[in-house]
Amino acid sequence: MLSGAIVGFGEVAEHGHWPAYGTVPGLEIAAIVEQRPERRRIATELNPSLATFASLEALAAGPAAIDFLDICTPPAFHAAAMLFALDRGWHVLCEKPFLLDRAVIEIARARALEKRLALVPVQNWKYAPIIARATALLRAGAVGPLRKVEIETRRSRACGPADRGDVSWRFDPAIAGGGIFMDHGWHAVYLALHWFGERPLDIRARLRRPEPAAVEDEVFAVMTFPSGNAVIGLSWNAATRRNTIRLEGVQGEIIVRDDVLIVDAQNRRATERFPASLSAGSYHADWFAAMLPDVAAAFADPGSACAMFDEAAACLSIIQRAYGADANEAVSRVP
């Protein structure tokens, strides 16, 4: 059994991460690190035996034996928490966007390799049952070699900066690192990388940044891979929440429409309906629980986490290149 601490006990940690640990053997949460007293109180109400701390320094000085850190803070604080954990010999699991600085990614990579520790990004959308099923069908050759991916994420205006009465960190680029592309787009990018199994050659992007917002609330991007293209459409301005994915192969296509999966190939059309919609909720404790066995395996064999780390590093590079491409409305080459 490996014992961990969650740092940043916000809504995602409370409703997505915390309940998942109780369903998976091998990993447990022994401590919560959270600056806000009211959130520490909520953690204690969930489990009175949890140790709570106001800082990572207090956690490290305390009696709890920690094996890993689960980082759920806003993005700008990921780097400090990650490097703190590595310096103390703790494995790291980190929410998206993984890191916001490519130089820090290389520092973290070198430190983890030196200390033989795992750095694991949270890529929970891969583990959504309907997406896992689409991936299995694709890998089994149901539609032949992949040629095109289309990913559309629509969220209502209540999710965007125009209708927010409060000041959310998601709309502060200094904390979030960007807008909807760094937020929802992170999932779209790693799914495209996962399905193509390649790195893109270039990316074109158009972003909408409405005044007075400092971040984009709509994105249209095209990633060009050696084997095909990925088209990504994102909006915080839709009338309703919706997720649509289309995987086009040489012999047909797989379509995901929230809770419906359709395979249209070789003159046959099959439909499956899933209990939960992709656009239902924001925390997805069941997806996180499905991912945790792979996290435990990565902690046991840190070398196996390198591919996941590299994929997260590629996500940051691609999204930042897209921001640059948007400024010139031109192709940005992706290293």
Greater pLDDT, 106 or 170: 106
Share of the chain above pLDDT 70, in %: 93
Q: Count Cβ atoms below 10 Å from residue 17 Cβ, excluding itself.
A: 26
7-64 pLDDT per residue, tens? 999 999 999 999 999 888 899 999 999 999 999 999 999 999 999 999 999 999 998 8
Cα–Cα distance measured from residue 40 to residue 30, given in angstroms and rounded to the nearest whole number: 13
Residue range 250-274: average pLDDT?
Answer: 96
Inter-residue contact 185 to 232 (CB < 8 Å): yes
Q: What is the structure's pLDDT at 61?
A: 95
DSSP code of residue 163: G
pLDDT, averaged across the chain: 93
Structural domains in the chain, CATH included, are 2-124+292-298+300-304 (3.40.50.720), 125-278+311-333 (3.30.360.10)
The pTM score is 0.93
Best CA proximity match to 76, nearest among 164, 163, 170: 170
Q: Where are the alpha helices (DSSP H) in the chain?
A: 11-12, 18-21, 37-46, 56-61, 78-87, 102-115, 129-139, 173-176, 180-196, 285-300, 306-328
84, 63 in Cβ contact below 8 A?
Answer: no
- Rounded CA separation 115/123 (Å): 23
Q: CB-based burial of residue 206 (10 Å sphere; 0-12 exposed, 13-18 middle, 19+ buried)?
A: middle
Read off the pLDDT of residues 125-165 as tens digits, 9 standing for 90 and up: 999 999 999 999 999 999 999 999 999 999 985 444 433 44
pLDDT tens digits for range 169-214: 888 999 999 999 999 999 999 999 999 999 999 999 999 988 877 8
Residue recorded with tokens 């806003």: 74
Tokens for 164, please give them: 């927010």
**pLDDT recorded at residue 327:** 55
The tokens describing 83, both together, are 């490097």
Comparison of pLDDT for 121 and 166, the residue scoring more: 121
